[in-house]
Amino acid sequence: MSKPYDTVQPERGAVAALPGVVALEFGVDWCGYCQRAKPAIEAALAESTQVRHIKVEDGSGRTLGRAFRVKLWPTVVILRDGEEVARVVRPGSADAVRAALREAGAAA
């Protein structure tokens, strides 16, 4: 079973300080698009064990999502050493997530 979106958000500076490749996933547990994309996201990330996956609840008043200009859920922002290198919005397949991970240099 997958973990829910975390309601406690990390600070933007803490996210920027994370080394390596990070998949920062924005969404909410009740979102239908998020539920449909969950298998694709999880399948791609399961193949990339070196990628850190952080699920963050987004919405009104959530500053981290605004810092990354998140407009639709789910949005997966791929960071390498704290810098955005790729993103995928409402992925329809694991291949879409894999492509974003490849852009970051993560083997998928």
Domain of 18, CATH number, reads 3.40.30.10
108 occurs within a structural domain: no
* Residues spanned by the domain of 35: 12-103
Which burial class, exposed, middle or buried, applies to 98 when counting CB atoms under 10 A from its CB (0-12, 13-18, 19+)? Answer: buried
Does residue 37 surpass a pLDDT of 80? yes
Q: Where are the beta strands (DSSP E) in the chain?
A: 21-27, 52-57, 75-80, 83-89
Percent of the chain with pLDDT over 70: 97
1 occurs within a structural domain: no
**What's this model's pTM, rounded to 2 decimal places?**
0.94
79 occurs within a structural domain: yes
5 occurs within a structural domain: no
